[in-house]
Structure 1
Amino acid sequence: MAVPRERLDIGALEIHADSSGHEGILTPAALGFLAQLHRRFDATRQQLLQARRQRQAGYDAGGLPDFRADTAAIRTSDWQVAAIPAALQDRRVEITGPVERKMIINALNSGAKVFMADFEDSSSPTFANQLDGQINLRDAVAGTLEFQSAEGKSYRVGDNPAVLVVRPRGWHLNDKHFSVDGEPMSGALVDFGLFVFHNARALHGRQRGPYFYLPKLEAMEEASLWDEVMAAAEDDLQLPVGTMKATVLIETLPAAFQMDEILHALRGRVVGLNCGRWDYIFSYLKTLRGHRDRLLPERAQVGMTAPFLKAYSELLIQTCHRRGAFAMGGMAAQIPIKGDPAANEAAMAKVRADKLREVQAGHDGTWVAHPALVAVAQEIFDQYMPTPNQLSMLRQDVSVSREQLLAAPSGTISRAGFDNNVEVCLRYTAAWLDGLGCVPIHHLMEDAATAEIARAQLWQWLHHGGLEFSDHAPIDFALFDQALAAHTHLLRDSEHPGAARADAAAALLSALTHADTLSDFLTLPAYDQLA
């Protein structure tokens, strides 16, 4: 039931949740700020989402993404992005995680250069999670963030914390808890608006931003909308133009063909692009869902050395460095394996090899998901990148074609790979429905991207028909239904996160997998079941 609020200048903004305990964040002035953002920018957002749907219809009809003819001049002309702030000059290791209080403290104290506080893929966007996250970040910016565990252990931020960067939700997600004039607000504008309203002036005063990671963009026009939103917020909050800085995740296949254009659209405030590789693989699957000749082998066989992913990452490095922007590497999702030194060392060896590949290719920094991996990644980057960044490595040897970005690698589908997709997607979805968006599964810290890859692969393998496992047995819905039932039973009787939501997650995964059309995002239908 919506809690009555003082209207003041907020007009027809309504909150459809019990907001008690969040009054310090949901002030009348803050809500008025959100209402202004919605009224100024939501119509454009809706137009851009419609453009996405039209492009996807073209891909489903047999078309393929390509470099844009109408923006060739942007790609061929010489220009640079604005100067990068001192606080972001060295980003060799960045840690990411949800906006949970203890995790924020541990991440800020981890020794990483940057902490990306995530309202998006590693957060289940319940009303409490998102608003508690805003309180936690407000306290972190104010220097008052503390946490005491049930066991009595105290946590607080140390003297040299990581630089804070915030990732709001993507343009495609609504927030059902906020509406303006009867229309749901953009989750992106809620996350961004509340954070900057309460923290932008303080961060600017310390020359710490505010800084953002922008997810799920598909076109330069979507980047332009973010530029307009930030410019309007700067004006409203009386901050200098260009105060707010952004790093864009290139994690959709269409965006890979518009890297120059996205940088250009944000050239007054962008500081880099990031290889959001797990979401990129999902986007490849989703964008090309109707193309049987573009199917990918099982997840374990699709690594960054695959030609289409190597081309994408090298094109990103070349594009960024040509424009004076950073090229950030991807996520190491491994977490320490306690009680098995040999298995733990094997996992750490994979991290070292991945980070060595990134730094030698020219990346200016990388991501880790667990504080224990910060030192592992930093050792590699310190050894091979003694300078704060590698902007001077222009990678003029790189030449990437359309077909290289679209070429599916060869490989197989094993029974184990199929079964793992069912298990991981089920377990993650159940945890997400239970309010947890960052889930340890098989010694990896998984977020929504892994579940999306697993779900999209299952849909493609089953709906294209006639596919076989590596042992030549047919892949069919009977096997999927059997595997889903088995894993649902195991999860229901386990102590894994989300065990109580096993049946709801199974019903959702079954419906999405049997549906005639691949759903754009797992989190859209799942969101209807969240508090």
Structure 2
Amino acid sequence: MANVLILQSPPPKLEDVQKKLLSKGALEFLCKLHRQFSSEIDQLYQNRLARNVDLQTRKLSFKTSPERDDKSWKIGPLPIRLQNRHLDLGDVSPANAAHFVAALNSDVQGIQVDFDDGHCPTWRNQLLAHHNVNLAVSGKLSGAPLSIMTCPVLMLRPRAWNMIDHDILIDGKEAIGPLVDFGLLMYHNGKKLYEANSGPYFYLSKLEGASEAKLWNDIFVWTQDELDLPQGTIKACVLIENIVSTFELEEILYALKDHSLGLNCGIWDYCASIIAKFGNREEFLLPDRNKYVNMERRFLSSYMRLVVATCHARGAPATGGMAAAMLKPGSDGTDAGSKAIVNKVLEAKLKEIELGVDGFMVYDSRLVPYVNELWKKTGTSANQIQRQFNVNITAEDLLSIPSGGVTLQGLKHNVAVFIQFVYHWLAGTGHFFYSGNVEDSATAEISRAQIWQWIRFAPVLEDDPAKQVTARLVEKTASNFMAHAHKNLCRSNAERKRLTAAKYMSMEIFLARNPPEFITTYLNDNHKFRTLHNKALLSNL
């Protein structure tokens, strides 16, 4: 029998949803999944701690391996629906039914069905998200197509390994977030997606090297056996969001081989990981990201070119990052201001196409027709895998931090993004809109990482050389933002209290001697967040 305790009572009107989602069969499956892989995941956490210590005294380098030396192998064949992945919609949290339905009706190849960066895992959000996915796959989601075969393909993104599920106990231990998401998605939808020739397909976030890809592959193999699915049915695209993974691209592809759907580039998580691993060394001081950090910089262009070259050599698609730009409310892109935004997005994406990417993401569905037209103009077929690139990317190329300074405007922007991210997380929302962009945990990560690093090394402001970045300046910047936000963001006393809490939590992160590697870990484990959204049943058990 499964030894599983659900620690939360169902929110109002979701009693039946919780009962159906967490049925006896589903709980037994989650229990078996955890028993099978719990010890290996505990070892993964230990390996990460050991690696972080090791990286303080050594440099990353490319290592020889059988997978890297053998040039003959390729990933398994791609299903027909995965051969053209020109455009996905990113950060689509299925907890937001209206947004999810709109995505399902969009003229794109895929949807990043997000339980990670753009999703906040309150108990209510988790129930709604899984329920809406289940309805969509069954053709019963109101307003969505009646057949999953006529929708964009669902690219399911479970939480990353850093996320613990505090709402479920399995064998006396808190459940593992990604296993809960993956297990429930597979148990309820795996066979239906397979029978519709539409999956199950996944994005895998924040992997740290090939050993973690191998663990996911083992999970896929075991799950396919348990659910009586042919081996190789599950396909997964790994997001290369960690500097360690960039040195193990060949090995990651090989580890997933028959389950591989290639690799994806995620610029801001990637930059944040460099600070997380090496940020206490001044040579890795990252300048103002809005002014000096973009895909044309040596370390990022090298990263993307290496991802593309490695993928194509192994018969795998390589996808670029997400365009976070948003058109103005009510705009269809034809007014002058919106045209400038569209042109900027198209210019950046054309450069990625020229580098050989096989697709990328946008958030704003109003950009879809413009991006689709861009692909048509390039004359690109379903993918560019046939384009082979002979690159010689070195460790120095990948770790060459761009020159440039720190600006007061850059500091203000990072402070505003991070405080607002914490504020919205406390409100139960994983992404928000600010200054013409969608912001999620990826931009929150790089924002707070830069602030922490700037405080540590006190660089001079290039737009005011008489000033340095100090804790006092950051606090003053945060207070100035608060004065503005109280007037424009908060409509109630509860919202004002939440914003105040967000400011103090943000300052705690900015000033931490040893900050958490992932902001979502900090927030997910924080008592403020947990007491705001979760109603424990422990007293009734």
Range into which the TM-score falls when normalised by the shorter chain: over 0.9
Pick from 316, 325, 339 the counterpart of residue 345 of structure 1. 339
How far apart in 1 are the matches of 2:76 and 2:67?
Answer: 19
How far apart in 2 are the matches of 1:324 and 1:85?
Answer: 13
Pick from 305, 310, 315 the counterpart of residue 301 of structure 2. 310
How far apart in 2 are the matches of 1:385 and 1:124?
Answer: 39
- Match status 1:365 vs 2:359: yes
Q: 1:130 to 1:68 in 2, by over 3 A?
A: farther
**In the alignment, is the contact (CA less than 8 A) between 1:62 and 1:291 conserved in 2?**
no
- Judge which range, 490-499 or 251-260, deviates more: 490-499
How far apart in 2 are the matches of 1:298 and 1:385?
Answer: 36
- Match status 1:401 vs 2:394: yes
Pick from 2, 20, 45 the counterpart of residue 10 of structure 1. 2
Pick from 283, 286, 310 the counterpart of residue 293 of structure 1. 283
Q: Which has the higher helix share?
A: 2
Correspondence for 2:536:
none
**What amino acid maps onto 2:454 in structure 1?**
W
Secondary structure at the aligned position of 2:445 is classed as helix
How far apart in 1 are the matches of 2:202 and 2:67?
Answer: 28
**What amino acid maps onto 1:458 in structure 2?**
I
Deviations 1:475-497 (A, max 9, x none): 11111111112222332332369
Correspondence for 1:51:
47
CA-atom RMSD in angstroms: 1.6
**In the alignment, is the contact (CA less than 8 A) between 2:299 and 2:402 conserved in 1?**
yes
- Match status 1:387 vs 2:392: no
TM-fit CA distance, 1:470: 3.6
Secondary structure at the aligned position of 1:426 is classed as helix
Deviations 1:225-280 (A, max 9, x none): 11111111111111111111111111111011111000000001102101112211
**What amino acid maps onto 2:62 in structure 1?**
F
- Match status 1:418 vs 2:411: yes
How far apart in 1 are the matches of 2:52 and 2:379?
Answer: 40
1:15-94 alignment runs, 5 A limit: 15-19=6-10, 20-21=15-16, 22-59=18-55, 61-69=56-64, 71=65, 73-94=67-88
**What amino acid maps onto 1:65 in structure 2?**
L
- Match status 1:446 vs 2:445: no
1:382-531 alignment runs, 5 A limit: 382-396=376-390, 398-472=391-465, 473-495=467-489, 501-527=498-524, 528=526, 529-530=529-530, 531=533
- Match status 1:251 vs 2:241: yes
**In the alignment, is the contact (CA less than 8 A) between 2:406 and 2:459 conserved in 1?**
no
How far apart in 1 are the matches of 2:473 and 2:70?
Answer: 51
Q: 1:77 to 1:386 in 2, by over 3 A?
A: closer
Secondary structure at the aligned position of 1:266 is classed as helix
Secondary structure at the aligned position of 1:268 is classed as helix
How far apart in 2 are the matches of 1:515 and 1:133?
Answer: 33
TM-fit CA distance, 1:95: 0.6
- Match status 1:172 vs 2:162: yes
**In the alignment, is the contact (CA less than 8 A) between 2:153 and 2:199 conserved in 1?**
no
- Match status 1:128 vs 2:124: yes
**In the alignment, is the contact (CA less than 8 A) between 1:91 and 1:365 conserved in 2?**
yes
Pick from 104, 108, 115 the counterpart of residue 108 of structure 1. 104
TM-score, length of structure 2 as denominator length? 0.92
**In the alignment, is the contact (CA less than 8 A) between 1:174 and 1:186 conserved in 2?**
yes
- Judge which range, 289-298 or 131-140, deviates more: 289-298
How far apart in 2 are the matches of 1:73 and 1:103?
Answer: 41
Secondary structure at the aligned position of 1:493 is classed as helix
TM-fit CA distance, 1:76: 4.5
**In the alignment, is the contact (CA less than 8 A) between 1:461 and 1:467 conserved in 2?**
no
TM-fit CA distance, 1:47: 0.8
**In the alignment, is the contact (CA less than 8 A) between 1:62 and 1:290 conserved in 2?**
no
How far apart in 1 are the matches of 2:248 and 2:135?
Answer: 37
Structure 2 portions without partners, runs of 5+: 534-541
Secondary structure at the aligned position of 1:265 is classed as helix
**In the alignment, is the contact (CA less than 8 A) between 2:213 and 2:255 conserved in 1?**
yes
- Judge which range, 360-369 or 335-344, deviates more: 335-344
Correspondence for 2:153:
163
**In the alignment, is the contact (CA less than 8 A) between 1:508 and 1:526 conserved in 2?**
no
Secondary structure at the aligned position of 2:438 is classed as strand
**What amino acid maps onto 2:117 in structure 1?**
D
Deviations 1:151-191 (A, max 9, x none): xxxx3337732111100011111110111122111100000
How far apart in 2 are the matches of 1:270 and 1:124?
Answer: 27
How far apart in 2 are the matches of 1:409 and 1:132?
Answer: 43
Secondary structure at the aligned position of 2:468 is classed as coil
**In the alignment, is the contact (CA less than 8 A) between 2:114 and 2:156 conserved in 1?**
yes
Deviations 1:446-473 (A, max 9, x none): 1100011000000000012354444212
TM-score, length of structure 1 as denominator length? 0.93
